[in-house]
Amino acid sequence: RRHLPILMKDLSQQKMLKGLLLHKNFSTKWGEAYVVALFRSGLLAECVPELKRVRGLVQHDQYHRYTVDAHLLQCLREIIRVQNKPKVLGKLAPLVRAMSAKDWKILWWTGLYHDLAKGRMGDHSTEGAQLVKSEFTQMKVSLRLTIEVSWMVESHLLLSTAAFRRNPQAKGTWSFLHERGVKDQRLKRLALFTAIDIRATNPDAWNDWKESLLYQLVESVQSPKATRFM
C-alpha cells in the first residue's frame, strides 16, 4: 500500500506505460472484486484521467439509477456476469456464445469508455469516440482495437433506438442500421452490449419486453429478406 502513491505518480507521467499496464492487467479474467478495487482505489482513474471528471456526476432523469462513474463500474461488472452466466439474457444468450476473445476485449473497453464523455459539450457518443481515438493512440493500442472500440462507443445507442422506437421489420430500419455499419459481428456485439448497458443503467429497466424486442431486431436484420434488400 505504501508504494501505491509512487506508482500513481509514475503512471500520471507516462502515457505509454499506462496503456501497457492497462491492457495487460485490466480484463474480464480478473473478476468483479478486482475491477471494483481498481475503481475504488483511484488507480484506474490515474490511468484514465477522464474518470476523475465524471466521478459523482449525477444523471438527472428517472432512468439512470447511478452516477456516471458508478454506471461504468456496474457495466464492467455486468460484462463479467453475462460472460459467466449467459442465461441471464434469456433469448439473447446465444450472442454470448458467439463472442470471441477479441469481441470480449472490444466489449470490455467499450464498457469503460462509452459514457466517459458525458458532461462535455456535444453528443457524448461522438465525443466519446474521439476520446477513444485520442487515448488509445497515445497508449499505443492497436489500430484494429482502436477502430472497433471507437465505433462501438459512437454507436452504442443505435440498437436501443431501432429496437424500441422503430419497426424491426421495416426496410427503413434495416437501412438506418446498415448505413451506420451495424452488420455481421458488429451487430451481435452491439446487441449484446445494448442489453448489458441497460442492465447496468437500472436493473429494473431490463425486462422480457425489451429482451424480446432486441432479439426480434437482431433476427430481422440477419434475415434473408433483409440481406437481399441491403
* pTM confidence score: 0.88
Largest CA distance in the chain: 62
Which ranges constitute the DSSP H helices of the chain?
A: 4-13, 15-25, 32-41, 43-47, 50-54, 68-84, 93-97, 101-113, 124-138, 143-155, 158-165, 171-178, 184-201, 208-221, 224-229
| More reliable by pLDDT, 148 or 26 | 148
Q: How confident is the model at residue 96 (pLDDT cuts 50, 70, 90)?
A: very high
> 14, 7, 12: which is closest to 139 by C-alpha?
14
Q: How confident is the model at residue 170 (pLDDT cuts 50, 70, 90)?
A: very high
Q: How far is CA 17 from CA 12, 119, 157, 165, in A?
A: 9, 28, 32, 43
pLDDT score of 3 = 47
pLDDT score of 213 = 96
Task: Using the predicted structure, report yes or no on whether residue 103 has a pLDDT greater than 60.
Answer: yes
pLDDT score of 58 = 81
Task: Using the predicted structure, report yes or no on whether residue 9 has a pLDDT greater than 90.
Answer: no
pLDDT score of 16 = 60
User: Could you report the per-residue pLDDT of 16-67, keeping only the tens digit for each?
Assistant: 666 666 777 778 888 899 899 989 988 888 888 899 999 888 876 666 678 8
